[in-house]
Amino acid sequence: MSTDVSVRNSVPRRPTSKAGPALHHGKYTFVVSFLLVPVGIYGLFVVSPYLQAIYISLTDWTGLTGGQTFVGLANYARLLDDEQFLIALRNNGILVVVVPAVTVLLGLFLASMLNVGRRGRSGVEGVRGSAVYRVVYFFPMVLSVAIIGVLFKYVFAPTQAGGILNGLLRAVGLDGWAQPWLGDPDFAFWIVLLVMIWSFVGFYVVLFSAAMQSIPKEIYEAALLDGAGRFMTFRQVTLPLVWDTVQVGWVYLAIQAMDAFALVHIMLGIGGGPSRSGDVLGLALYRSAFNSYRFGYASAIGVVLLLLTLVVAAVFMRVARRERVELS
């Protein structure tokens, strides 16, 4: 990990204020004055909404002025009969499994090509132009998800609306493959998923590259001398040594993949696309709250999203905690 803060292990982890009596003078006034505003803003806009949301999910609050009556778990019971919610839940489930898996695989593949993919006279080395690739691959990460959504809405648009993919298919004689991609319930959600992967891969290439560059070159030289092939080298050398980064990246990706709100909202519309086939929980929540003003119900969806996030984080932490390799 080549971040600036990685040296923090060398200092005591506990906060210290052992700087003599002078520092104790007025310490509490200082601490309070520094914490007051950040904690106040955080409490007002983050903590209190989260706590309220959990309570609201137990009420029947509807309408901008309606009262809140406590109804227990009735909203949650209703969720189970809501077909639309179940579609959204299924889609979130798919996103959480497929997006991290494909992104990590592609990221590892490209990062290993980039850093150790070339075998020449001087042993294992990165490809030429790897610095340029690293810059280019990272482009989607700095773009707003709104820009990406709009861009791909038009990539996959029908030809009469300027859709470039259908135009490309026609140009190479594959007219039959042209589809109203985002208008077809069989494709719409999967295209959003692909776009999501497109936007994430580059970031993980850069992340894994950083981890791979900290692997000592001698290890690769040794593997080469022992006659290990590329795949063997990757399995036995590269992967174990970047495994820590991979597992952190995996959890982070799973949490990122939960939030497909912007892409689905922009590419498929507020309804979640044709037959609402591309719906996701964030969008279902938004519709319940700000289109139908069913605030209790919307908050129940939010709590489900939170539980799903916690479960995913816990599961991945457990699964990914395999044996670690110490480099020393």
Residue 91 within binding range of other proteins, rule CB under 8 A:
no
Which stretch, 43-51, 65-73, 76-84, 172-180, contacts other proteins (CB under 8 A)?
Answer: 43-51
Q: For residues 151 and 142, what is the distance between their CA atoms, to the nearest angstrom?
A: 14
Region 107-166 residues binding other proteins, contact defined as CB under 8 A: 109-110, 113-114, 117-123, 127-128, 133-147, 149-155, 160-162, 164
Which stretch, 38-46, 68-76, 81-89, 185-193, contacts other proteins (CB under 8 A)?
Answer: 38-46
Residues in contact with other proteins, total (CB under 8 A)? 132
Question: Binding string, 168-207, against other proteins, x = CB under 8 A?
Answer: x--x--------------------------x--xxx--xx
Residue 273 within binding range of other proteins, rule CB under 8 A:
no
CA-to-CA dists, residue 219 to 207, 216, 232, 236, angstroms: 20, 6, 13, 11
Kindly tell me which of 47 and 315 has the beta carbon lying closer to other proteins: 47
Residue 3 within binding range of other proteins, rule CB under 8 A:
yes
- With CB under 8 A as the contact rule, the residue among 104, 258, 260, 264 that binds other proteins is 258
Report the nearest approach of other proteins to the CB of residue 263 (Å).
9
Region 17-36 residues binding other proteins, contact defined as CB under 8 A: 17-20, 22-23, 26-28, 30-31, 34-35
